Amino acid sequence: MKTKAIVDKEGHSFAFEVENAFLTRREVHSIFRKIPGAAHVKYLKDDEFCECTLNGKRFVAFEAYGDNSVFWIGPSPAEWNPDIKVIREIFQSFRPMWGVVRWLFILVPLIAVALKFFATNS
């Protein structure tokens, strides 16, 4: 999965974003559970929808306004932490399945309707 680094003034990558077109909040939670050494992994029903503790620091998954095209993953408070590299690598190795299936449920009926429309109008 592709990620986009969020960089601070000193040039440190302290957080990252992932597109959520093919990634659900629940999948983010399951990825958090795969982080080596992560503790207190929780799923929340808010803009900040997932959290964990890694080496004594809190990391969160955040969706601004609950309606954004990306999830922000990083420490809370937002400051550089070397553990973000491990978390980012876990996300980069993840291959979303449900997101792809979700889009198939949307696209297949649309394609079927379009084909039927063109077949009857030709």
Q: What is the CATH number of the domain that holds 57?
A: 3.30.310
DSSP annotation string for 19-85: E-SS--HHHHHHHHHTSTT-EEEEE-SSSEEEEEEETTEEEEEE-GGG--SEEEEEESS----TTHH
Task: Supply the pLDDT for residue 67.
Answer: 72
Q: Count how many domains the chain has.
A: 1
Containing structural domain, residue 17: 4-95
Query: Could you tell me if 20 and 63 are in contact, meaning their C-beta atoms sit under 8 angstroms apart?
Result: yes
Nearest Cα neighbor of 16 from 68, 69, 61 is 61
With respect to residue 119, please indicate whether it lies within any of the assigned structural domains.
Answer: no
Task: State how far the Cα of 11 lies from the Cα of 55, in Å rounded to an integer.
Answer: 23
Question: Which pLDDT does position 119 carry in this prediction?
Answer: 84
Residue 91 covered by a domain: yes
Asked, for residue 43, whether it belongs to a domain, the answer is yes
- Domain membership of residue 114 (yes or no) is no
Does pTM top 0.95 for this prediction? no
Q: Average pLDDT for consecutive 10-residue bins of the chain (122 residues)?
A: 93 94 89 96 92 97 84 95 96 77 72 83 74
Is 118 inside a domain boundary?
no
Q: Does residue 50 sit within a domain?
A: yes
